[in-house]
Amino acid sequence: MWKRDEAVRQPAQPAVPTNEAAAAAPAAAAQAVRPDTIKSQNVRDVVNIGKSVVIKGELNGSEDLTIEGHVEGKIELRDHVLTIGPNGKIKAELFAKSVVVLGEVIGNVSASEKVDIRENGSVEGDITSPRVAIAEGAHFRGSVDMAQKTSKAASGPRPAEVKPQPAPQPVMQAQQAQKVG
Amino acid sequence: MLWDPRNKDRHEAAAAAAALGDAGQLFPTKALRKFLASLTSRESPVLMDLGPVVGPNVTFLGERLGCKIILEDLFGDLDRYPKASETPFAEYLKTRLKHEPDSVDGILCWNFFDFLDLPSAQVLARSLTKLLRTDGALLAFFATIGAADARFSKYVIMDEDSVRQRSYSSGGRKQTALPNRDIIRMFEGLKVSESFLLKTNVREFLFRKPAQTS
The reply to whether residue A139 touches residue B53, judged by beta carbons under 8 angstroms, is yes
Query: What are the pLDDT tens digits along chain A (181 aa)?
Result: 444 444 444 443 444 444 444 444 444 444 444 444 444 445 556 788 989 999 999 999 999 999 999 999 999 999 999 999 999 999 999 999 999 999 999 999 999 999 999 999 999 999 999 999 999 889 999 999 997 644 433 333 443 333 344 433 333 333 444 444 3
Report the residue of A110, A148, A179, A180 to disrupt the B interface, i.e. the one with the largest count of B CBs within 10 Å. A180
Q: How many domains does chain B have?
A: 1
Residue B161, chain A, CB below 8 Å: the answer is yes
* Helix, strand, coil percentages in chain A from 3-state DSSP, rounded to 5: 25, 40, 35
Q: Under an 8 A CB cutoff, do A147 and B66 touch?
A: yes
Q: Which one-letter DSSP state was computed for residue A62?
A: S
pLDDT recorded at residue A87: 95
Mutation pick from A116, A124, A145 vs chain B, by most beta carbons of B within 10 Å, is A145
For residue A108, what pLDDT is reported? Answer: 97
Those of residues 36-55 in B touching chain A at CB distance below 8 A are 36-37, 40-41, 44, 53-55
Q: B157 at the A interface (CB within 8 A)?
A: no
Q: What is the pTM of this model?
A: 0.73
CA B137 – CA B190 distance, rounded (Å)? 9
- In a domain, residue B213? The reply is no
Residue type (1 letter), B50: L
| Rounded distance between C-alpha atoms, residue B27 and residue A175, angstroms | 7
DSSP class per residue in B175-207: E----HHHHHHHTTTSEEEEEEE-TTSEEEEEE
* Minimal CA separation from A62 to chain B, in Å: 28
CB environment B42-54: b (16+ within 10 A), e (fewer): beebbbbbbbbbb
- The answer to the question of residue B192 being in a domain is yes
Distances (CA, A) of B93 to A61, B87, B105, B119, B126: 44, 11, 20, 10, 10
* CA of B184 vs chain A CAs: smallest distance (Å): 13
Nearest to A110 by CA among A90, A89, A132, A86: A132
**DSSP state letter for A181:** -
Residues of A with CB under 8 A from a CB of B: 117, 131-136, 138-149, 151-152, 155-156, 158-162, 165-166, 168-169, 171-172, 174-181
Which residues are CB-contacts of B14 (< 8 A; sequence separation ≥ 6)?
Answer: none
- State the DSSP H helix or E strand holding residue A104, giving kind and residue range, or none if neither: strand A104-106
Look at phi and psi of residue B111 and say left if phi exceeds 0, alpha if psi is from -120 to 50, else beta: alpha
- Residue B13 included in any domain: no
- pLDDT tens for chain B, 214 residues long, are 444 444 444 444 344 434 444 567 888 999 999 999 999 888 889 999 999 999 999 999 998 898 999 999 999 999 888 878 888 999 999 999 989 999 999 999 999 999 999 999 999 999 999 999 999 999 999 999 888 888 888 999 999 999 999 888 766 788 889 999 999 999 999 999 999 998 888 999 999 999 875 5
Q: Residue A175: which of B27, B159, B180 has the nearest Cβ?
A: B27
Find residue A82's DSSP bridge partners: A65, A99
User: What residues in A contact B44, CB-CB < 8 Å?
Assistant: 147
- For residues B90 and B75, give the distance between their C-alpha atoms in angstroms, rounded to a whole number: 14
User: Does B9 fall in a domain?
Assistant: no
Residue B98 lies in a domain: yes
pLDDT at A88: 96
Contact in structure between A61 and A97 (CB atoms under 8 Å): no
Find chain B residues with C-beta within 8 A of A133's C-beta: 55, 59
A113 phi and psi, to 5 degrees? Answer: -115, -65
Cβ contact, residue pair B71, A140, below 8 Å: yes
Is the complex ipTM more than 0.90?
Answer: no
Which pLDDT score is estimated for A172?
36
> Per the domain annotation, does B4 fall within a domain?
no
Nearest to A32 by CA among A15, A4, A7: A7
| Cross-chain CB nearest to A145 (options B68, B161, B180) | B68
Model pLDDT, residue A46: 72
Q: Is residue B16 part of a domain?
A: no
Asked if the Cβ–Cβ distance from B160 to A174 is below 8 Å, we say: no
DSSP, residue by residue, chain B: ----HHHHHHHHHHHHHHHHHHH-EEEE-SHHHHHHHHHHTSSS-EEEE-S---HHHHHHHHHHH--EEEE--HHHHHHHS-TT-SS-HHHHHHTT----TT-EEEEEEETGGGGS-HHHHHHHHHHHHHHEEEEEEEEEEEESS-EEEEEEEEEEEEETTEEEEEEEEEEEEEE----HHHHHHHTTTSEEEEEEE-TTSEEEEEEE-PPPP-
Calpha distance B81→A24 (Å, rounded):
72
Distance (Å, whole) CA B126 – CA B148: 26
Spatial CA neighbour of B78 closest among B138, B14, B12, B123 = B123
The residues, any chain, with a CB within 8 Å of residue B159's CB and separated by 6 or more, are A166
> B67: which chain A residues are within 8 Å (Cβ-Cβ)?
146-147
> How far, in Å, CA of B202 to CA of A118, rounded?
33
Q: Residue B78's domain is classified under what CATH number?
A: 3.40.50.150
Which residue segment(s) compose the domain that B88 sits in? 29-208
Domain contains B21: no
Q: Out of A141, A166, A178, whose CB is closest to B196? A: A178
**CA–CA–CA angle B155, B96, A144 (5° rounding):** 50
Q: Cα separation of B9 and B187, whole Å?
A: 52
How close B28 comes to chain A (CA, Å)? 6
